[in-house]
Structure 1
Amino acid sequence: MAFPRSSGGLSLLVGLLLLLGQRSRGEEPTAEPDPGRCPEDCACAAEGAVDCAGVSLTRFPAGLPATTRQLALQNNKIEEIRVEQLSNLPLLETLNLQNNWLTTDGLEDEGLEMLEELAYLYLANNQLSSAPKALPPSLVSADFAANRLTRIFPYTFGYKPNLKSVYLHNNKLTDDGIPDNMFNASDNLEILTLSSNFLRTVPENLPPSLYRLHLKSNELERIPAGAFHGLRNLRELYLQNNFLSDEGADNETFSQMTSLECLDLSNNNLSAVPRGLPRNLVLLHLERNSIRGIPADALHSVRNLEYLLLHNNQLRSRFIHPAAFQGLKKLHTLHMHNNQLERVPRGLPRRAKTLVLLRNAISEIGRNDLAPLYTLTELNLSYNRLSDGKLHRDAFRKLRLLETLHLSGNALRSLPVGLPRGLKVLEAKNNGMEAVPDGALSGMHRLRTLVLSDNRLRLNSVYQGAWMELVALTTLDLSGNQLSHVPTDLPESLEYLDLQRNRIASIPPSAFEGIPNIQKINLRFNRLSASALDESSLARLGGKIDVGGDDEGSDRR
């Protein structure tokens, strides 16, 4: 218990009684805190900052300067804080108690409430089972993440006119543990995180000042009508990893949030694109649901959409209406990988720059399937079912801006001809490819990275002079093929060459003379013996060449 400060006989009597009590137990009298003293193992600055972080404290430090404004106590083992330990810190503005051993019983409400200047309170990663019943009105930010909270009180965060952010994620909150007016008269709150709790519904009467709301990883099945209608300033809403179904939201659930720019509904139970999406959306997450198709008008309201993520669904091309993306003139990034697309969908956004279609069932690309996408700079078609006869030689003719193309994991027996000449990155590994036909790499003067690993290429599989045409090439990956010799006529620009897991048995002295910029050569797991290595070549390359290991895994250097 803290005694009131008084003068005269009462004060003297109290002091004598305390002194006698201590001496009767063999204790030394407790000294009054020295306002100019810095606790042992702590660092104090003239501007009122006291740093006691990570010094294995088990108790709240005694004798803190009365001028303390910022107190760092994180990463200790403090279990208890009493009222009298905070009573001499009237100027305290920031209190950091993250990652301690505090429990609800060890944190007295009155101690925090009396800190009239407290603005920033950090109590994450403790063992609190309920929040303090009252916090000071001066509070600006409060972090209670990663505790065991099951209950919030009306005055915990209510009546805090300066409150801007509250972090309550990774707790054990249920609907019953949150009061109806949790933020009553806290009209300036901007950030609220309630992720990773056990909420089944959206809290009511959230302040209209919110611009970021995290509700991911809860147990939400439906959103009550009007739950978001007052949140006209909300810009980011995160609802991923819940149990929301098509019936869990109506056509007006999101429509009133006129400022919303980011909406994350990934990893729910949706089978269709939600209706009534707000027109100012920029980023829409719908991945990891069970969406099978996209009707003609499902996305027409989101005219400002730039990023659309639809991967890991059950989309089929025939269920995507040709007009589904019509009018989305700002949409530049579309992810549709890990679906069931049997062909490139029709009507894709004409101004898209990034299109990711890997891991689908696309077996054919016709002459005009990609032609409308003339603004593409990145296209990923890896791990589909493309074969030589089903990939039209003019399929890429319109993609003059394309810089990155992924064709790995298909069934291509030769590198396609007619690839865009402006490519900077080309990956076609794991195809079973047996040939790079004449002219397939011609004109690719900007290509910097070429990955043809895990194919069936032999030394004569590549047309003569192919490598020399690639005047900007810095990375060439030919690992996991059937090469018997180091390729000749490598470009001077080359910096990284991967030839591991081939059948190379010897290296002539002049093998690497034409690549003066080389930084690394990997020749591991070939058929090289010590006698097959030219010592002058190795000496000239220094540590740039790695020849350790052969097919049996031995290490020869």
Structure 2
Amino acid sequence: MLRIGRLLLLLLASLPYGFLLKNHEDDDLSLATPQPVGGTPAQKVSGCPSNCTCPAEETVDCGGLDLHVFPGNLSAGIQHLSLQNNQLRELPYNELSRLSRLRTLNLHNNHITSEGLPDEAFESLQSLQYIYLANNKLTVAPQFLPSTLRIVDLAANRLSHIYPLTFGQKPGLRSVYMHNNLVNNTGLPFDAFNGSDAVTTLIFSSNRLTYVPQNLPRAIFRLHLQNNHISRIPKGALSSQWRLRELYLQSNNLTNDGLDSSTFSRLKNLEYLDLSNNNLTQVPGGLPANIVILHLGRNHLNTLPSERLSRVRSLQYLLLQGNTLTATGVHPEAFSRLRSLHTLHLYNNRLERVPPGLPRRVRSLMLLHNQIAQIGLHDFAATYALVELNLSYNRLYSAHIHRLAFRKLKRLEILDLSGNQLTLVPAGLPSSLQVLNLQKNQLNSLSPELLVNLTVLKELHLAHNRLRISSISPGTWQELHGLKLLDLSYNELSYVPPDLPESLENLYLQHNRIVVIMAEAFLTTPNIQVITLRANRLLAANVSEAAFADLKWLEVVDTTGNPEPINISLLQARRWIPTQTGT
């Protein structure tokens, strides 16, 4: 699960502002972070307000000073003013009106209310390009904002109503941030963006919209509408947004009845579509061919017909986790035309076996948390490009895994079979494996022939099984020349297994039944760095200091939770964690 977490973090968290921006010619997102403008070291210039910093004559930074009152006597020539992270409740018109050359005004994270923001507050700021009013207490948007604006950030307020000239009639406007407010469709007028045709980024996530707004700017390429109450997309609502590349609609109330076959069909440049956590029962029709990432997780999909995904020829990531898919509901041709698909998430479904017709070029296949009870000879015969395969937390028994099931997986590096009912290590494991996870099974024996040829294996996870010293055959580790991490915790070992690999650096033996550490315990592991022995049955008299004497790379030894304190003098060890009785 940790690897899936890391993958999703890279895949879903970093992509919105990195992956899909790389080819955009005029993106102002880098300017949207509330911060003072100016790169020179802070210094005191003539006329700089008390306690503020002024890197240059045109830049004033009064952020984080606990100010309750707008600073007076500001130079009329300043261009960049930062007042974020203060206690301001209102903006005095007479002070603002003097700042006619102001380009950046940062008021992020104050207590400004709509009553404290007069309608004419910004009418004199005819050079203003960037305004940040996020994290305040506004209930209605400013009625008039200058036509010169490029970025408007009103996120995290209490806004329920937008005026036509809040965002409209601004030919240079590029980015609008309105997430975490209370706007519904009634509070967003039809002409809200008239005359602002250059808007490329529109963030309205976490509001109260019930349908996708119509008459949106045609230039949009990033549209975030997640975490609303959207149940439908009106016909034609997205028909003019042919430049759209990134569309977030997750965590809404969308059903298939709220879509039609033309909803997405004109979005020829769409690369990222997130429809996860909705109420869809089928893959939407009419998906454009250029989608690279399609997220349909946490819906109610129970079938994958042959034609629904066939048009999406550029698809690389398909996320279908958390649905009700069965193997019989997956058509053998469902993935047949997805020749670029390399990541497929099918975990947390109801698959009773490996689904047929898996994509031939898939490299990462997540099938964990299903009901798969067997792996047949041909289940992975066509997925020769697999690098990571996760079958954890299914219903697999050793007798139901064909001995040649993995024969074609010559590139497989990570195999996770944890959380099943295996009593033996599966036969025929690929020699390319680098990580093998078999924890939380019923393994009761280890033998050399089942780990043969795993010469590049780096991590072997065997925690939470039923292994005893007598069940580990001599020579079990002899082929594991590259093994660096061995996890044997939560088993039934009575002493450290002999003849461990010389390459080993991390050895986890906690929560076993180890009663003795003999002098030769780590004789074959001179490169060991971490040894955990906590919560065993060790007594000080049964622990030989000689066992650790020649381990010059040893950094951590953990013996906490044993019956009595164990104090070993380790000059080489950087960190010794002694036993604490009763822990």
**TM-score between both structures, scaled by the size of structure 2:** 0.88
Partner of 1:235: 245
CA distance in 2, matches of 1:52, 1:227: 43
Deviation of the 1:52 alpha carbon: 1.1
Partner of 2:204: 194
CA distance in 2, matches of 1:512, 1:50: 63
Is 2:153 aligned against 1:143? Answer: yes
C-alpha contact 1:339 1:359 (8 A) present in aligned 2: yes
C-alpha contact 2:371 2:394 (8 A) present in aligned 1: yes
Change (3 A) 1:545 1:305: same
CA distance in 1, matches of 2:485, 2:75: 61
Is 2:401 aligned against 1:391? Answer: yes
Is 2:574 aligned against 1:549? Answer: no
Is 2:473 aligned against 1:443? Answer: no
CA distance in 2, matches of 1:487, 1:281: 52
Aligned partner of 2:421: which letter? A
Range with bigger deviation, 170-179 or 68-77: 68-77
Deviation of the 1:503 alpha carbon: 0.7
1:173 to 171, 177, 183: 183
CA distance in 1, matches of 2:95, 2:478: 76
Q: Deviations over 1:155-195 (max 9, x none)?
A: 01101111110000110001110110111111110000111
CA distance in 2, matches of 1:493, 1:303: 45
Deviation of the 1:514 alpha carbon: 2.4
> What is the DSSP-based 3-state SS (H/G/I as helix, E as strand, rest coil) of the residue aligned with 2:492?
coil
Partner of 1:159: 169
Q: Deviations over 1:408-465 (max 9, x none)?
A: 0011001111111100110010001111233111111111111010000111322322
Aligned partner of 1:467: which letter? W
CA distance in 1, matches of 2:530, 2:350: 40
CA distance in 1, matches of 2:73, 2:498: 76
Partner of 1:317: 327
Deviation of the 1:112 alpha carbon: 1.7
CA distance in 2, matches of 1:39, 1:356: 58
Identity across aligned pairs (percent)?
Answer: 51
Alignment of 1:51-450 (within 5 A): 51-450=61-460
Deviation of the 1:202 alpha carbon: 1.2
> What is the DSSP-based 3-state SS (H/G/I as helix, E as strand, rest coil) of the residue aligned with 1:237?
strand
CA distance in 2, matches of 1:89, 1:491: 72
Deviation of the 1:399 alpha carbon: 0.3
C-alpha contact 1:449 1:474 (8 A) present in aligned 2: yes
Range with bigger deviation, 79-88 or 535-544: 535-544
Which of 1 and 2 has greater Rg? 1
Change (3 A) 1:389 1:183: same
Q: Deviations over 1:67-95 (max 9, x none)?
A: 32221111111001111111222221111
Aligned partner of 1:555: which letter? Q
Deviation of the 1:552 alpha carbon: 10
Deviation of the 1:543 alpha carbon: 4.9
CA distance in 2, matches of 1:260, 1:388: 44
Aligned partner of 1:93: which letter? R
1:466 to 476, 483, 501: 476
Partner of 1:489: 499
Deviation of the 1:518 alpha carbon: 1.6
Range with bigger deviation, 121-130 or 505-514: 505-514
CA distance in 2, matches of 1:537, 1:62: 73
Deviation of the 1:65 alpha carbon: 2.5
Deviation of the 1:311 alpha carbon: 0.2
CA distance in 2, matches of 1:95, 1:413: 66
Aligned partner of 2:94: which letter? E
Partner of 1:480: 490
CA distance in 2, matches of 1:544, 1:60: 55
Deviation of the 1:147 alpha carbon: 0.3
Deviation of the 1:520 alpha carbon: 0.9
Deviation of the 1:538 alpha carbon: 4.5
Partner of 2:572: none
CA distance in 2, matches of 1:208, 1:381: 44
Is 2:64 aligned against 1:39? Answer: no
Deviation of the 1:320 alpha carbon: 0.8
C-alpha contact 1:414 1:437 (8 A) present in aligned 2: no
CA distance in 1, matches of 2:433, 2:47: 66
> What is the DSSP-based 3-state SS (H/G/I as helix, E as strand, rest coil) of the residue aligned with 2:273?
strand
> What is the DSSP-based 3-state SS (H/G/I as helix, E as strand, rest coil) of the residue aligned with 2:165?
helix
> What is the DSSP-based 3-state SS (H/G/I as helix, E as strand, rest coil) of the residue aligned with 1:121?
strand
**TM-score between both structures, scaled by the size of structure 1:** 0.92
CA distance in 2, matches of 1:364, 1:535: 48
Aligned partner of 1:272: which letter? Q
Q: Deviations over 1:23-60 (max 9, x none)?
A: xxxxxxxxxxxx93111111111252211111111111
Give the 4+ runs in structure 1 shifted more than 4 A: 538-543, 551-554
> What is the DSSP-based 3-state SS (H/G/I as helix, E as strand, rest coil) of the residue aligned with 2:122?
helix
Partner of 2:568: none
* 5+ residue gaps, structure 2: 1-44, 566-578
Deviation of the 1:113 alpha carbon: 2.6
CA distance in 2, matches of 1:37, 1:516: 67
> What is the DSSP-based 3-state SS (H/G/I as helix, E as strand, rest coil) of the residue aligned with 1:416?
coil
Range with bigger deviation, 483-492 or 533-542: 533-542
Range with bigger deviation, 336-345 or 36-45: 36-45
C-alpha contact 1:441 1:469 (8 A) present in aligned 2: yes
CA distance in 2, matches of 1:552, 1:73: 59
Number of residue pairs matched? 524
Aligned partner of 1:530: which letter? A
1:512 to 511, 522, 546: 522
* 5+ residue gaps, structure 1: 1-34
Deviation of the 1:66 alpha carbon: 2.6
C-alpha contact 2:448 2:478 (8 A) present in aligned 1: no
Deviation of the 1:146 alpha carbon: 0.6
CA distance in 2, matches of 1:509, 1:63: 79
CA distance in 2, matches of 1:406, 1:44: 56
